[in-house]
Every structure is written in structure tokens, then in C-alpha cells.
Structure 1
């Protein structure tokens, strides 16, 4: 394998580093710096750790760049996938003020809060999705293997079957004949859509925009994105970065393409002389309560504190809504599953009941 190909392969592998691994690297680096080690020594120590991901190689490359005279934030720019603009801006401020370790600790706290919220969202969705998939699998199995057996029995009756039974028989025939093809087509379409969303910013923005328009789900996604945006902005302002310069670092801070794109529009409005609350109101994606609170905070010169407080309140609201949705979803799914299976059983036994009445 040539050197260029090997370099490209190493670069692709390094991009597969998980956000959790980057957070662990940041926490370890902050701890080593707090213990009194120099930055290059701390990175060399991490580079010799027995990890199976790309973090040791990244730490080794960072140490080499810093030894050659580059700054830490400049060296991080070589890995934009792992270290976004928010990470690099906070690192640059910490490096310039001689407080890199506290800056890294602040980054860890911000990333861990975002990770915890995503974990709660996944946990809230895991049970309903698992039950729905199980219900679909059980229904498909009944239609593919059980219903055809009843069909052979009903053929011997020599009578017209009830409407619900005929509908179930039609569905069973469709599942047996076209089920594998439909399943394969859906799998291929899902894979293609996932790759398109992952690689196309326009497709990702369209998906996030559609997500925000869904009742309840859109409110939840909007509150979560606004919370991450507020906390990231408040953290940057608390670090001493001017307001007009902070928006540039929020291009990937929320995980929602609509809010990330709104940051660029807000930045442009701020440079034209608008107030932050007015610019946020103009982009139209932020909750009105957050905009009004920021308008008051601008008048009282306590913007960074109010942003962090708003982020905490929004995160608490998201947690409460997730808990409520999870509690309501369980009985609803059980009821729907019971109704579906019950309707299928009744449709299969209707001919038997009618035959018994005739006899």
C-alpha cells in the first residue's frame, strides 16, 4: 500500500472516533494539566495509553504539532470532525489566558450535559420502538404462517367468508407473496436515506425542519436544540469571547441543522447592529419565552448568566416531557398491540362462530 493511501486510510479511521471518546480524552487531558504536567507531556502520556480507538494517534499528532511551534487550538483544527469550532474557541481562550485546564473542564461539562440529554432521549424512544418492532414482527409472522393454515380450513366450508376475514386473508396473501421484497426495498431505502442525510447538509436540514413541524416531537426537539444553543453561547460569553464572535463557533453546537444555520443569520444581523433578541426573533426558530428572556437580559447586562439559566430550565423541561412521553407511551402501545392482535384473532374465528350458529 502506498504512503498516500495509508495516510487516507488513517485519516478515515481517525474520523470514526466517537464523541464519547473525545470527551474522555478531554477529561483526561484536563486532569493531567491540573496535576501540573506540561501540555506536550500530557499528550504524550495519552498517546502511549492502551486504547483501541484513534485517540492515541491523535494525541501523538497534536503533541508533534505543538512541539513544532503550533498552538493547541491551531493543532486541533487539523481534526475538525472530532474538535468542532466551539471546542477550538474555548481551547484558544484558555490557551491565551493561561487557563487551559479550566477551559477543558468547561468543555467536558458542556459535552457531558449534551450527551446525557441525548442518552435520555434514546432511552425514552428505545422501549416504544422495540415494542412496535416486536408487534410488527408478530403480526407479520401470524399473517405469513398462521393465517394460511386457517385459509385451507375455510376453503372446505364452501361458504362466503365475513368481510374482516377476507381482509385478513388478502393481507396474508400479500405478505407471503410480496413481504420479502417489500422488506428488502424498505431496508435499501432506509440505508440510502441514512447515507443521504449523513452526507448532504441540505437533506439533513430538510429532515430537521420537518422534525420541528411534528406536534409534540417538534416542541421537544426545539426545546432541546434551544437549550444546547443557549448553554454553548453562555459558555463562550463567560469565557470572555465577544458576542459577535461567538456565533461563528455555534455552527455545529446544537445537532439540529435549522438552529445551526440560524446562528449564521443571527451573526449577520448582529454585525448590522441588531440586538441579539431581535435577531433571534427574526430567524423564527427559537421559543418565544427564550427570546423574551434574552431581551430582558440584554437590558440588565447579565446575558451569559441568563443564557446558562435558560439552558438549565430548558433541559429540565425536556427531561420532564421525555418522562411524561415515556410514561404515556407504554400503556398506549400495549392497548394498540392488544387491539391489533385481538382484531386479527376475531377475524380468523368469525367464520367458525357463524358456522356454529348455522349448525
Structure 2
């Protein structure tokens, strides 16, 4: 079962490493600047859009690109997604697969200068809002909605409500973990819920359930990234080049509609503990940026700035920037020297340089 457990970070982050460090960490780091190295570790956890990484290691693609640049890269599985992000934030990993909201609210908000060097995919229907009995988004006013609070489901609900002129204050949310959401929605007392796959698919099959909003209605907003420590990347640009080479060679292979592509996807499914059919189903609602030119275009688009403004405003409004008096407390930078928030505290950087190298055949 390929549960996108990346999204559960929002539930734990309130008590995680970001709390308390928000306002001072970015300007108080005293660690010695990283030096040139030859060994690096990248953390990942199970999610359809991140399975190219362990497959690449298994297939020798990681070694191929690492050897090209005279380095060693260990692709490390961390069973708990939150723990993988926390390990990265604590400096135990050089990079990590992480969703955009979590990159902002955990390492960046905790003062760890982080660069998103690969925009890998976005949820294109993996997340949805369901209502029983033929209701719509407007019918949610005054109703209770079961979901994982402070998760991407919560963000999706806010976006869905705003599309029909409603706000979060117009509904009541009932905090329900992903392990319990299917059972909760099956109860006659629960009329509405928000969830992600594979739970979402199971809930859709329940009698009377209808989907009224999904991540496909806000394409490009729920992003999955590969992030690397900025200082480490600056001291070791070969790492960024190798990682870009690994990603695009692997995704080019897995998207092929021939025997080799099918075999690669089946191997990824096995690594994820899923059947090939289930894995392909997850990929069908995941927009994979397998073409580096498309990834560069998405990263350079003004739409990304708009998306991250929405994400940071939501995060601040729900208290995820503990100690901050403004959503501008955490700075973000984008291609073209555009910034959001405090330009003196930029700790999340969208860096398109390695994706561009891949697009231009310069890796």
C-alpha cells in the first residue's frame, strides 16, 4: 500500500524541531561552513513520486552518476516521513525528499538554509474532499469535516472552501488520522471528509460518497521536492549535478511505455510494498516532472510564488510558525531573484540551476 505519508508531517511539526527556533535560528547558526566532501546521504520515505530514488540505487543509476563526479551517494530509507525530515533538519542527512509545505514549516522555519533543487511532481488527484448524499462544497457550511488537522488535507479544505466564498471558520474540523479516516467516513454519523490516497480511493467506493474537490483542482500546489542543505550544495556542486542526473535518467526510464518501463515501475512497486497495478494507480494521479524542461518552467513560473504565498499564509494562520508575528518571518527565494518574506532570513530557496543543466544536456 503506497500511503503518501509525507503529508503526516503537518500533524507532528507543531512539536518538532521548527518550534521555538523560528525567529532566531536563521541568523544564529554558528556551525562551521561545510567543506568539499565525497560522501553524501539522501533520505527518502515511501511515496509513489519518490520511488525513483531507491529504484535508481537498486538499478545502479545512483552509482553511475556518483562515479561520474567522483563522489559516493547513499540513498537512505527512513520509515517515518516526519523522522526523515527531522533527521535532515538536524544535519544527519544531506538531503531529503519532502513536500513543499513541510520544507517550509520544518527545516526552513527552523532556520536550516535549504535548497529545493528538484521539483519532482505534484498531486493531481491524490488528495480529495468527499461528501455523502449528493452535497457540494457550499453544503459544507456549518458542517463537520473529518481530516488530519494541520495536514495537506486541511490546506486542501481551505482552498476548496475559498473557491466557493467560504472560510475554515465556516466549518468544524474533526482531527482524524490517516489510519482511522476510512473507518470514520464509513460511519453513518460522518457526512464529509478529506483524505489522500490510497485511503481516498477506498472512501470513494463507499455508498453515497461523492468527490467535491481534489488536488487536481489546484494543480501544482501540493508539490514534492528533493531538498539539499544549501551550504553543503554550495561547497559541493557535484552533488547537485549527480542528483539531477539520477532523477532524470530514472524518470525517463519509468515513464517509457515498453517492457523496460513496465519492469522499472514494477520494481518500484515492489520496493513500496505494492502491486504494479496499485503503483500505476498512484502514478495516474501524480503529475511527474520527468522532463527537466517542464520542471524548469514550473519552477520559474510566477505561479510557484503564488502557491508558496498561499502555503505560508495558511501555515502561519494555523500556528505553524510558532513565535512569529508575521507570515513574512520565513524568507523564500525563487529564480529571477524574487523573494517572499524577510530577505534577510531566506531559508528556503527554489534553485533551478541543476534542472536547467539537465534540460540543456550539460550534466
- Judge same fold: TM > 0.5, yes or no: no
Structure number with greater CO (CA < 8 Å, separation at least 6) is 2
Larger Cα Rg: Structure 1 or Structure 2?
Answer: 1
Task: Decide which structure has greater strand share.
Answer: 2
TM-score by length of 1: 0.28
